[in-house]
């Protein structure tokens, strides 16, 4: 046990002391937030399109509103002339609306240098359709104001569990997706880290020296647990940063805004109102999710999933010789279930009670990712205790099984040089008696 501890300490300190560890630990939360919010920001920023419009129908002038980064300019000109000169006039496209019967709209043509993008086409079609609908209602004698006053939107408040706790399907979706995706990234990054560490020691012949004083199984377990400690350290640092930010935010905003948020009172100015709204949203996020359960399960499934896959990655690393490209073909059977789990997770966050989501959260090859996508929806509401307990037991059993299998492969592969080992041959080692 003392030898395993020495290897764990070496693996842990070697990686924690690197500058890359500090940079990665600080940058990953920023990159993760960027991955979540940047697509929404990009989607919300439309292209600055300046479109010339020739309206021969005389229906749309003054009614076709700008929006989505598209600006319309109505011109009195001939289409045949303008469609060749609109770029020189500073326009990105030409929209030609021919004379038409609003009950039977004819084809509307858009001239552009290149292919019209999907967002621009959808934006134009939606706004043109709105104008035609308004004209049809006016012709039919329908009061649009009364129609709008009749329309309404229903907001369903979700009270879950016996305590009737207020929840949010959207928040559960986001938290589940983020947690599952983060476990997916961790499995690939740290599993690959274990494999590369084993490959380097084998190709540099360091493993020969180490195996002379420790058993191969001790060497493999020391490396796996040591790197797991690195990942756990990063998770603790991220948790402290998030908790610290949430704790310091009221101090930075001032007590009056915190009091206004607590009493649900309107703020005196726009800046205070924005701050109060942000505090209210953070409080809602805090109260709508069982964070203690989510975080504890995240730690378990991070460690369980890592230990399950890292043993297999270590076995693969022990099979690779001088050609590192061998690792690509050998790791495919291992990385394939991880990739499949992310697709099952995408379905699970939309429907956490589906058969695919339930079985995906129990089978150990996919449960670390899929179960983390289901847990924010509620335990025991959406995820019964028996499913969570069965998932935990099966994942532990899976880890023990992969460790046993990987140890048999690792013991032979780590000292095997100059021969290309196939997966078929590695499987034969599993059935060989010790």
- Would 427 be classed as within a structural domain? yes
Q: Could you give the angle at which helices 385-413 and 291-319 cross, rounded to 10 degrees?
A: 20
Query: Does one domain contain both 331 and 353?
Result: yes
On whether residue 299 sits in a domain, the answer given is yes
Residue 268: enclosing H or E segment and its boundaries?
A: none
Residue whose token pair is 């290149």: 114
**Measured between alpha carbons, how far is 348 from 368 in angstroms, rounded to an integer?**
13
Q: DSSP string of 6-62?
A: HHHHHHHHHHHTSHHHHHHHHHHHHHHHHHHHHHHHHHHS---EEEEEEESSSSSTT
* Residue that the structure tokens 């279930």 belong to: 337
**What is the reported pLDDT for 361?**
92
Name the residue among 149, 171, 225, 144 with its Cα closest to residue 403: 225
What is the side-by-side order of every strand in the sheet holding 109-112?
A: 70-74, 49-55, 93-97, 109-112
Residue with tokens 């993760």: 32
CA 289 to chain CA centroid, nearest Å:
18
**Do residues 216 and 414 lie in contact, with contact meaning Cβ atoms separated by under 8 Å?**
yes
User: Which residues have a Cβ under 8 Å from the Cβ of 27 and sit 6 or more positions away?
Assistant: none
Give residue 18's domain range: 2-34+171-431
What pLDDT does 340 receive? 92
The C-alpha atoms of residue 90 and residue 73 are separated, in whole angstroms, by 11
- Say which CATH number the domain at 89 has: 3.40.190.10
Collect all residues with Cβ–Cβ distance below 8 Å to 247 and sequence separation of at least 6.
Answer: none
Are the CB atoms for 230 and 196 separated by under 8 Å?
no
Tokens of 356: 């695919």
* Unique residue bearing structure tokens 């059993």: 397
Let me know if residue 332 belongs to a domain.
yes
Return the bridge partners of 53, or none. 74, 95
Determine phi and psi for 67, rounding to 5 degrees. 165, 155
Is there a single domain that holds both residue 118 and residue 220? no
H, E, C per residue of 150-189: HCCCCCCCEEECCCCEEECHHHHHHHHHHHHHHHHHHHHH
Domain boundary among 123, 142, 161: 142
Considering the domain boundaries, does residue 148 fall inside one?
A: no
The angle subtended at Cα 351 by Cα 349 and Cα 355, nearest 5°, is 115
- Count of domains observed in the chain: 2
Q: What pLDDT, on the 0 to 100 scale, is given for residue 208?
A: 64
Using alpha carbons only, how large is the chain's radius of gyration in Å? 30
> Would residue 157 count as lying in a domain?
no
Q: Is the dihedral of CA 402, 238, 350, 120 positive or negative?
A: negative
CB atoms within 10 A of CB 394: 16
Q: Do 348 and 406 have their domain in common?
A: yes
Are the beta carbons of 180 and 349 closer than 8 angstroms? Answer: yes
- Rounded CA-CA distance 83/285 in Å is 53
Residue 137: CB atoms within 10 Å: 13
Residue where the block lists tokens 């399950």? 308
Residues 197 and 294 in one domain: yes
Q: Strand, helix or coil at 50?
A: strand
In a domain, 166, yes or no: no
225 and 308 share one domain: yes
Same domain, 260 and 339: yes
Does residue 43 lie within any of the structural domains?
no
Same domain, 22 and 56: no
Residues 399 and 266 in one domain: yes
Does 107 share its domain with 176? no
* 262 domain-assigned: yes
Tokens 């994942």, residue? 395
The residue with tokens 């992969």 is: 402
Please tell me the predicted confidence (pLDDT) of residue 368.
92
Instruction: For residue 69, give the DSSP letter.
Output: T
Distance CA(121)–CA(119), nearest Å, equals: 5
- CA 432 and chain centroid, separation: 42
Look at residue 43 in the predicted model and tell me its pLDDT. Answer: 54
Q: What is the pLDDT along the chain (434 residues), one digit of tens a residue?
A: 677 888 888 888 888 888 878 887 877 767 666 665 665 565 555 557 888 999 888 888 888 888 777 889 898 888 888 888 888 888 988 999 888 888 887 788 899 888 887 878 888 888 888 888 888 888 888 877 777 777 676 766 655 555 555 556 677 777 788 888 888 888 888 888 888 877 777 777 666 667 667 777 777 888 888 888 888 888 888 778 777 766 665 555 555 544 554 554 444 444 455 445 555 555 555 556 677 888 888 889 988 998 898 888 888 877 776 666 666 777 888 889 999 999 999 888 888 888 999 999 999 999 999 998 888 887 777 788 899 999 999 999 998 888 888 888 877 777 776 667 766 777 777 776 65
Whether 23 and 54 share a structural domain: no
| 286 & 257 share domain | yes
Shared domain check, 353 and 311: yes
Query: What angle, 0 to 180 degrees and rounded to 10, lies between the N-to-C axes of helices 270-288 and 216-253?
Result: 140
């Amino acid at each position: 046990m003392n030898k395993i501890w020495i290897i764990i300490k070496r693996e842990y300190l070697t990686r924690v002391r690197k500058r890359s560890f500090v940079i990665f630990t600080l940058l990953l939360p920023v990159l993760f937030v960027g991955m979540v919010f940047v697509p929404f920001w990009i989607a919300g920023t439309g292209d600055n399109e300046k479109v010339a419009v020739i309206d021969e129908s005389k229906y749309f002038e003054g009614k076709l509103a700008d929006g989505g980064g598209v600006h319309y300019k109505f011109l009195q000109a001939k289409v045949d002339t303008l469609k060749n000169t609109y770029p020189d006039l500073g326009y990105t496209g030409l929209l030609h609306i021919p004379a038409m019967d609003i009950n039977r709209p004819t084809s509307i043509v858009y001239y552009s240098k290149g292919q019209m993008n999907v967002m621009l086409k959808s934006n134009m079609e939606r706004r043109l359709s709105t104008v035609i609908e308004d004209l049809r209602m006016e012709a039919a004698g329908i009061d649009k104001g009364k129609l709008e006053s009749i329309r309404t939107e229903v907001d369903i408040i979700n009270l879950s569990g016996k305590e009737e706790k207020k929840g949010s399907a959207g928040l559960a979706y986001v938290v589940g997706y983020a947690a599952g995706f983060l476990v997916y990234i961790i499995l690939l990054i740290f599993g690959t880290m274990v494999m590369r560490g084993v490959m380097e020691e084998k190709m540099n012949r360091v493993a020969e020296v180490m195996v002379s004083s420790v058993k191969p199984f001790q060497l493999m377990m020391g490396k796996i647990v040591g790197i797991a400690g690195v990942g756990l350290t990063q998770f603790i640092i991220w948790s402290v940063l998030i908790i610290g930010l949430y704790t310091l935010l009221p101090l930075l905003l001032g007590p009056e805004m915190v009091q206004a948020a607590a009493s649900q009172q309107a703020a005196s100015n726009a800046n205070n109102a924005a701050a109060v709204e942000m505090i209210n949203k953070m409080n809602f996020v805090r109260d709508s999710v069982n964070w203690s359960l989510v975080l504890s399960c995240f730690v378990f499934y991070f460690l369980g999933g890592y230990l399950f896959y890292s043993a297999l990655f270590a076995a693969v690393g022990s099979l690779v010789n001088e050609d590192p490209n061998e690792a690509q073909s050998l790791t495919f059977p291992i990385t394939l279930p991880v990739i499949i789990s992310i697709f099952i997770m995408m379905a699970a966050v939309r429907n956490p009670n589906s058969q695919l989501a339930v079985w995906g959260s129990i089978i150990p090859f996919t449960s670390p990712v899929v179960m983390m996508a289901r847990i924010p929806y509620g335990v025991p509401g959406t995820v019964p205790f028996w499913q969570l307990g069965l998932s935990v037991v099966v994942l532990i059993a899976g880890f023990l099984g992969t460790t046993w299998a990987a140890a048999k492969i690792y013991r032979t592969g780590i000292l095997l040089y100059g021969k290309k080992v196939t997966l078929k041959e590695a499987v034969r080692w599993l059935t060989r008696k010790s």
